[in-house]
């Protein structure tokens, strides 16, 4: 009994001491400080989210009222996680409060975070309408070429960027000064004790609660509307997460056993070249690739305010072999280059072109043609080192690269270099004067933001869609002139021309970033060496170009694991495309789009025979090969 009484008395004493601790004036001030900092960050992130939503609603994105409420609710969940990471520094500084000017350091640290996050959120708000996903590490792949990247931004977007940065910064400073409670104490006993209690508790909101699965984008995804989910994301948290996830350059997504994924892939590419129709009258023609920036298939045979957008391309597509149901592999130029010339599909949240060590090991149509006696060259009006294209081309065996640095500065009539009519003129001269067997690749650029052209616009409207269509109309005009002039040269009779977009575009129609319409592109085989005129209506992919061309030239395409022969009668028609963190799977009977964040299908149309499980096997194999490189 005495022992039990002692235990009871001791427990009561501890409880009293604990209660005194939490009613201590120092502790009240301490908790007030922690609470005010937390409240400030939560209110700041909430304000940035609401401004983002308003901006994107003005840009044409839509969601219902309920989704708006849920995006704020789920967003607060991720905001709390980010606020806890931010709070870790001030709490650690408390240990050294006796020797450091805590208030001054915390004040400077907090304002530095405000300015940094304001810059991130400003860039995110401006870029989202074009990219369709929140800012992540993919954007920072372009910072090594900051000047070139900046030239892609229109004056209007630049003004919006600066305005939003100033608005966010002012808002952050105002809120911080309003809610930050100054606090000074020399009572080191309470400093150490309180921090030893509080800091471990931060782990709970940091990891998103006590669940087995820690915080990740999928935990705040709640809707089938991607914009609703994206509105719930916290930008600095999303950036930090994407950087940590892809820090090694490798990805480990396992949907199924590797052996099953391999078997699935084998069935997709079985009899790759069986029953193939030859469409060339010569197995060793000169080859010209024209890769058109953002030339979505939605431009083909379309009118805007009563005027054809691409009349010349429409005309030429009827003279050769047009693949009218083709899809880009991804949504970036460098991704499209790897798909066209290496037959390597896009990866969510990354691009293999940004890893020179990996691109050295990719198969290459360019390298294969070099071995067959071709001389290879690349022509571009911008800076070829942008987005690591230069290293990819060199690793692929390209022997000569001409970009804006080889043009006289007097011809620089665009923010990033030279416009397409100058580029096409130079390409024409090079072809006209080249007597060797050649492979030439031309990448256009005028239809890339900021959508300026060196001649009078066809449509006077100043909205972004009209500006994009003006650039496409301009490029189409000079592409037609190039093809007309080439058709008059002797080389025409021994020339194979392959035209493909690098990727699709959200205009016309302002398509969402993940829908198949955005990824649909024109692919065309023409030139004097092509003997057929036809429209290939079955589903095909940008990834298929390499295997198709190589087989037509009598060369092996075996190393191109993900590339089908478009002209094979045994072909299983399908297309795969990847966006920020998901993929689409298209076949003759429908489409399914899968979100890796939400881990479920977010769009389904029709009834595809090869369902999303086949797409998962395909993506798993792509990432497995990516990791091996």
Q: What is the pLDDT of residues 258-283, one digit of tens each?
A: 999 888 888 888 878 888 889 999 99
pTM over 0.95: no
d(CA 222, CA 69): 11
- Is 371 exposed, middle or buried, given 0-12, 13-18 or 19+ CB atoms closer than 10 A? exposed
Q: How confident is the model at residue 187 (pLDDT cuts 50, 70, 90)?
A: very low
pLDDT of residue 247: 52
* Joined tokens for residue 433: 């004067």
On the 0-12 / 13-18 / 19+ scale of CB atoms within 10 A, 185 is middle
Q: Which one is predicted more confidently, 519 or 210?
A: 519
Contact 225, 231 (CB under 8 A): no
**What distance in Å separates the CA atoms of residue 581 and residue 124, rounded to the nearest whole number?**
17
DSSP assignment of 28-48: HHHHHHHHHHHHHHHHHHHHH
* Nearest by Cα to 600 from 260, 221, 67: 221
**Do you find a cis peptide bond into 450, omega within 30 degrees of 0?**
yes
Percent of the chain with pLDDT over 90: 57
Whole-angstrom distance, CA of residue 495 vs CA of residue 264: 37
Environment class of 593 (CB within 10 Å of its CB; exposed 0-12, middle 13-18, buried 19+): buried
**pLDDT by residue (tens digit) across 369-397?**
999 999 999 999 998 887 778 889 988 99
Evaluate if residue 23 carries a pLDDT over 50.
no
The CA-based angle 466-441-410, given to 5 degrees, is 65
* pLDDT for res 115: 97
pLDDT at 175 over 80: yes
Other CB atoms within a 10 A radius of the CB of residue 616 amount to 20
- Cα(183)–Cα(405) distance, integer angstroms: 58
Among 113, 61, 125, 106, CA closest to 82: 113
Instruction: Decide: 347 and 622 in contact? Cβ < 8 Å.
Output: yes
Q: 553: closest CA among 406, 420, 365, 402?
A: 365
- Taking 80 as the threshold, does the pLDDT of residue 521 lie above it? yes
Once rounded to an integer, what is the mean pLDDT over residues 517-536?
97
Structure tokens at 570: 């045994």
Which of 290-294, 344-348, 361-365, 404-408 has the weakest average pLDDT? Answer: 404-408
Alpha helices in 277-332 (DSSP H): 311-317
pLDDT of residue 15: 43
How far is it, in rounded angstroms, from Cα 282 to Cα 487? 17
Mean pLDDT estimate for the chain? 87
Which pLDDT belongs to residue 29? 62
- Band of the pLDDT at 167, cuts 50, 70, 90? very high
- The yes-or-no verdict on residue 185 having pLDDT over 50 is no
Joined together, the tokens standing for residue 552 give: 């037509």
Going from the N-terminus, what domains does the chain have, and what CATH number goes with each?
33-241 (no CATH), 258-355+364-371+421-432+442-628 (3.40.720.10)
Beta carbons of 331 and 518 less than 8 angstroms apart: yes
Give mean pLDDT, residues 553-557. 96
Q: What is the pLDDT of residues 117-158, one digit of tens each?
A: 999 999 999 988 877 878 887 666 665 555 555 655 677 888
Average the pLDDT over each of 59-63, 108-112, 151-155, 304-308 and give the range with the smallest value. Answer: 151-155
What pLDDT is recorded for position 282?
A: 93
Condensed to tens digits (0 to 9), the pLDDT of residues 35-91 reads: 788 889 999 999 999 999 999 999 888 888 898 899 999 999 899 999 999 988 887
Give yes or no for a contact between 603 and 594, defined as CB atoms under 8 angstroms apart. Answer: no
**pLDDT at residue number 579:** 92
**Is residue 22 scored above 60 in pLDDT?**
no
Check pLDDT > 50 for residue 492: yes
Residue owning tokens 């009222």: 65
Q: What average pLDDT does this structure show over 213-231? A: 80
Cβ pair 149, 143 in contact under 8 A: yes
> Average pLDDT, stretch 306-316?
98
How do residues 339-367 score in pLDDT, each as one tens digit?
999 999 999 988 898 887 788 899 999 99
CA 268, chain centre distance (Å): 26
**HSE, side-chain direction, 13 A CA sphere, residue 567:** 20
Locus of tokens 């990834």: 543
Window from 95-99, 145-149, 186-190 with minimum mean pLDDT: 186-190
pLDDT of residue 504: 96
């Amino acid at each position: 009994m005495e022992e039990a009484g002692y235990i009871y008395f001791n427990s009561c004493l501890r409880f009293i001491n604990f209660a005194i601790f939490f009613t201590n004036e120092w502790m009240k001030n301490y908790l007030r400080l922690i609470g005010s900092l937390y409240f400030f960050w939560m209110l700041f992130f909430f304000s940035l989210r609401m401004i983002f939503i308003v901006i994107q609603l003005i840009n044409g994105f839509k969601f219902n009222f309920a989704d708006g409420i849920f995006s704020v609710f789920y967003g607060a969940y991720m905001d709390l996680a980010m606020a806890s990471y931010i709070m870790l520094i001030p709490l650690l500084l408390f240990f050294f409060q006796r020797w450091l000017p805590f208030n001054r350091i915390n004040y400077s640290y907090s304002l530095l975070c405000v300015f940094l996050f304001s810059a991130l959120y400003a860039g995110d708000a401006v870029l989202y309408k074009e990219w369709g996903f929140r800012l992540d590490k993919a954007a920072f792949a372009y910072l090594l070429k900051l000047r070139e990247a900046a030239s892609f931004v229109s004056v209007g977007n630049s003004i919006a960027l600066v305005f939003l940065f100033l608005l966010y910064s002012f808002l952050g400073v105002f809120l911080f000064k309003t809610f930050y409670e100054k606090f000074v104490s020399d009572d080191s006993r309470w400093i150490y004790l309180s921090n030893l209690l509080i800091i471990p508790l931060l782990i709970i909101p940091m990891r998103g609660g006590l669940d087995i699965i820690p915080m990740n984008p999928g935990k705040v995804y709640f809707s089938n509307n991607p914009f609703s989910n994206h509105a719930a994301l916290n930008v600095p948290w999303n950036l930090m997460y994407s950087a940590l996830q892809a820090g090694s350059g490798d990805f480990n997504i396992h949907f199924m056993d590797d052996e099953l994924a391999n078997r699935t892939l084998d069935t997709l590419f079985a009899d790759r070249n069986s029953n193939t129709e030859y469409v060339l009258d010569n197995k060793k023609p000169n080859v010209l690739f024209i890769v058109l920036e953002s030339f979505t298939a939605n431009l083909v045979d379309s009118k805007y305010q009563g005027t054809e957008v691409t009349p010349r391309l429409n005309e030429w597509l009827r003279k050769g072999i047009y693949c009218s149901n083709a899809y880009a592999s991804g949504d970036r130029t460098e991704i499209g280059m790897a798909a066209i010339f290496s037959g390597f599909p896009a990866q969510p949240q990354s691009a293999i072109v940004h890893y020179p060590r990996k691109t050295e090991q990719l198969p290459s149509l360019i390298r294969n043609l070099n071995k067959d006696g071709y001389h290879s060259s690349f022509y571009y009006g911008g800076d070829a080192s942008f987005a690591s294209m230069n290293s990819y081309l060199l690793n692929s065996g390209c022997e000569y690269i001409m970009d804006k640095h080889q043009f006289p500065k007097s011809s620089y009539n665009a923010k990033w270099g030279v416009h397409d009519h100058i580029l096409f003129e130079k390409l024409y001269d090079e072809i006209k004067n080249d007597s060797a067997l050649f492979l030439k690749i031309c990448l256009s650029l005028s239809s890339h933001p900021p959508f300026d052209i060196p001649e009078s616009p066809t449509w006077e409207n100043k909205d972004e869609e009209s500006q994009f269509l003006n650039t496409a109309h301009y490029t189409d005009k000079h592409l037609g002139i190039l093809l007309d002039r080439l058709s008059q040269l002797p080389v025409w009779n021994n020339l194979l021309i392959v035209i493909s977009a690098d990727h699709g575009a959200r205009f016309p129609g302002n398509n969402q970033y993940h829908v198949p319409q955005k990824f649909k592109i024109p692919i065309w085989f023409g030139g004097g060496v092509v003997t057929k005129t036809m429209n290939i209506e079955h589903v095909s992919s940008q990834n298929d170009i390499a295997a198709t061309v190589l087989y037509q030239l009598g060369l092996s395409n075996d190393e191109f694991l993900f590339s089908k022969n478009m002209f094979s009668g045994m072909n299983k028609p399908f297309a795969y495309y990847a966006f920020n963190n998901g993929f689409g799977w298209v076949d003759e009977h429908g489409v399914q789009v899968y979100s890796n964040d939400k881990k479920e299908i977010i769009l389904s149309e029709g009834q595809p025979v090869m369902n999303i499980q086949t797409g998962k096997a395909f993506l798993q194999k792509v990432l497995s090969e990516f990791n091996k490189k």
